[in-house]
Amino acid sequence: MQMGVMPPLSFSICRFTALLLLLLSTFPCRGFEFQEATIDGIQLAFREGSLTSRRLVEFYLTQIRALNPLLHAVIEVNPDALRQADLADRERRSGRRPCGGLHGIPVLLKDNIATRDRLNTTAGSFALLGSKVPRDAGVVRRLRRAGAVILGKANMAEWANFRSLDAPSSWSARGGQGRNPYVLSADPCGSSTGSAIAAAANMATVTLGTETDGSIICPSDFNSVAGIKPTVGLTSRAGVVPISPRQDTVGPIGRTVSDAVQVLEAIVGFDQRDAVATKAASKYIPRGGYKQFLQVDGLRGKRIGILRAFFTFPNGSVQQKVFEEHFNTMRQKGAILIDNLEISNLSIILDAAQSGEEVALLAEFKMALNSYLSELSSSPVRSLADVIAFNDKHRIEERVEEFGQLVFLAAQNTTGIGPAEKSAIARMTQLSIQGLERLMMENRLDAVVTGNIGVTSVLAIGGYPGISVPAGYGTAGDPFGICFGGVKGSEPKLIEIAYAFEQATMVRKPPSFRK
Ligand SMILES: *[C@@H]1O[C@H](CO)[C@@H](O)[C@H](O)[C@H]1NC(C)=O
Ligand SMILES: *[C@@H]1O[C@H](CO)[C@@H](O)[C@H](O)[C@H]1NC(C)=O
Ligand SMILES: *[C@@H]1O[C@H](CO)[C@@H](O)[C@H](O)[C@H]1NC(C)=O
Ligand SMILES: *[C@@H]1O[C@H](CO)[C@@H](O)[C@H](O)[C@H]1NC(C)=O
């Protein structure tokens, strides 16, 4: 969970940036341009024989070795990644299986997404190191079936930022402090910190993140990448270290909307182990998948509501100017923008103590985490109480003096879904129906658009989808994104809008590693 705005942090800065950039720019490419490579470009090069999956994995491993000491985006590299790449190359050469989509594509997973292989799955915490998961997460099974190469595990805010209010939203005990590759002293946000940084800094082709409230949208926004937070239940949460089954969702992060969409297409669908949610959401999956919505004229005729509450940038700021230009571009591309819309009860929705989100998440987390931990094949910790005790015993490694574990302690105090939790959940449902849904219905909207990450709680408590796309860079070179959100199952429209916006603006630049 992304818990509000974190205080600005300053760090001592690595001095090796120039050297690293030199090193990377001289990496032998044999004609294929590895930097900013897209899935379509890679698949073309595979078909033409100018690239192998092995060469691609080798490139990302080199990037990780060079950049990770600076960026802390990756916790573990998969010792079997090259073997998987070789297998993909053999399959392609033999013509034994159709090799489209993600076949041979290296994917980096947030460290809370289980893999039953030599990689650990720890949500960034030492407490889960050495635990054995019973099986791959549902989304990982789908990735493997699609032929993807599992490159490794991405750093993240420890426990998806649900341990404490005082820890940075981009730090874990195992992975360290993630850095923003554009401005190293800037917050990279979280909790899918490493997933966004790694995509931004060309350390993987694409990555997976998870979101409970803001954890895909915020780091995507801060690191100039495209992130999709799918409707809750569209992607299976089985085998994902949880916060709340009511709000958790797994989604892709990539350098382009098209790359993210291709991953989304591969990971959606029913999963027996997350049956209720994935069955309910499977009605939203369009026949023919999601790639068909990658249309350059996707903005034409779309009714998009501007939520000005999320565009409160100072007069004369870069952001204010850039977003007005973007609105003009969207109008030129045929969108109908409905301005100055307001979501009812927004101040309640944005205050987790008032909306009910806080009460519900604390109780849901304890139950869901205990259930996840009890299903592990082996583990040093079997319950939230064990994790709390582990932290008390490992105060140095887990930086307990500084960050504490207040959220854990508050969650441990809960006793299931009682009257208070039920009423909190009912309030969130009511706020969502009276809020985003009513606004969209009354104005016949296809989507809403927002310019900072404040909207994430609106999307979170309703289980709604959102897509973040790079929108610009501030005066210091710090990236900012634009977010398109909508009602449950509106991914096809959001993809049309996000893709057409991206193609019309082409904002993204590779990172500059400024201090
Ligand atoms: C997983 O953690 C163990 C320590 O328990 C370590 O020895 C092993 O190298 C880790 N796996 C990977 C792939 O890094
Ligand atoms: C920005 O300018 C507009 C008019 O141009 C004005 O109404 C508004 O109050 C100004 N906002 C701030 C924060 O100064
Ligand atoms: C847990 O509950 C006890 C007893 O009601 C209370 O004293 C304590 O402050 C609570 N702790 C947290 C972190 O909420
Ligand atoms: C939200 O606001 C509307 C009025 O716009 C009101 O009717 C409704 O009861 C409010 N909902 C909640 C949950 O506060």
User: Which atom in ligand 3 lies closest to the alpha carbon of residue 406?
Assistant: 13
- Model confidence at 30, pLDDT cuts 50, 70, 90, reads low
Mean per-residue pLDDT, 103-115: 98
pLDDT at residue 512 tops 90: yes
The per-residue pLDDT for 26 is: 43
Residue with tokens 């797994």: 250
Distances (CA, A) of 42 to 50, 78, 98, 102, 103: 9, 21, 15, 10, 10
Q: Tell me which of 53, 125, 192, 215 is the catalytic residue.
A: 215
The per-residue pLDDT for 66 is: 98
pLDDT at residue 80 tops 60: yes
> Is 347 tagged catalytic?
no
Distance 393 CA to ligand 1 centre (A): 21
Q: Which two tokens stand for residue 426?
A: 């009912």
The per-residue pLDDT for 18 is: 40
Distances (CA, A) of 407 to 292, 297, 322: 42, 46, 38
The per-residue pLDDT for 82 is: 98
User: Rounded mean pLDDT of the chain?
Assistant: 94
- Model confidence at 479, pLDDT cuts 50, 70, 90, reads very high
Digit-coded pLDDT (tens) for 490-503: 999 999 999 999 99
End-to-end CA distance of the chain: 27
CB of 431 sitting under 6 A from ligand 4: yes
Digit-coded pLDDT (tens) for 156-215: 999 999 999 999 999 999 999 999 999 999 999 999 999 999 999 999 999 999 999 999
Most confident range (mean pLDDT) of 19-23, 91-95, 239-243 is 239-243
Mean per-residue pLDDT, 311-319: 95
Which amino acid belongs to residue 449?
A: V
Question: Residue 321, Cα to own-chain centre: how many angstroms?
Answer: 27
Helix/strand/coil for 439: helix
The per-residue pLDDT for 57 is: 98
The per-residue pLDDT for 207 is: 99
Under a CB-based contact definition with an 8 Å cutoff, are residues 89 and 52 in contact?
Answer: yes
Distance CA 483, CA 485 (A): 6
User: Which atom in ligand 4 lies closest to the alpha carbon of residue 348?
Assistant: 14
Q: Cα-Cα-Cα-Cα dihedral of 436, 270, 362, 229, to 10°?
A: -50
pLDDT at residue 92 tops 80: yes
> Is 366 tagged catalytic?
no
pLDDT at residue 11 tops 90: no
Distance CA 153, CA 243 (A): 19
The CATH code of the domain at 11-293 is 3.90.1300.10
Mean per-residue pLDDT, 318-333: 98
Distance 282 CA to ligand 4 centre (A): 30
Distance CA 145, CA 142 (A): 5
Q: Which residues contact 153 (CB under 8 A, 6 or more apart)?
A: 74, 75, 76, 108, 109, 110, 111, 113, 115, 119, 120, 121, 122
Q: Which ligand is nearest to the CA of 78?
A: 1
- Model confidence at 380, pLDDT cuts 50, 70, 90, reads very high
Q: Which phi-psi region, left, alpha or beta, contains residue 395 (left: φ > 0; alpha: ψ -120 to 50)?
A: alpha
The per-residue pLDDT for 97 is: 72
Mean per-residue pLDDT, 15-38: 62
Residue nearest to atom 3 of ligand 3 (CA): 413
pLDDT at residue 100 tops 90: no
Q: Which ligand is nearest to the CA of 414?
A: 3
User: Which atom in ligand 2 lies closest to the alpha carbon of residue 312?
Assistant: 13
Q: Which residues contact 126 (CB under 8 A, 6 or more apart)?
A: 173, 174, 390, 394, 397, 398
> Is 215 tagged catalytic?
yes
Distance CA 125, CA 162 (A): 12
Digit-coded pLDDT (tens) for 129-148: 999 999 999 999 999 999 99
Under a CB-based contact definition with an 8 Å cutoff, are residues 192 and 154 in contact?
Answer: yes
* 191 cis-preceded (ω within 30 degrees of 0): yes
Q: Which residues contact 415 (CB under 8 A, 6 or more apart)?
A: 363
Q: Cα-Cα-Cα-Cα dihedral of 59, 60, 62, 66, to 10°?
A: 140
The per-residue pLDDT for 95 is: 83
Mean per-residue pLDDT, 418-431: 98
Distance 290 CA to ligand 3 centre (A): 47
Q: Tell me which of 131, 191, 236, 355 is the catalytic residue.
A: 191
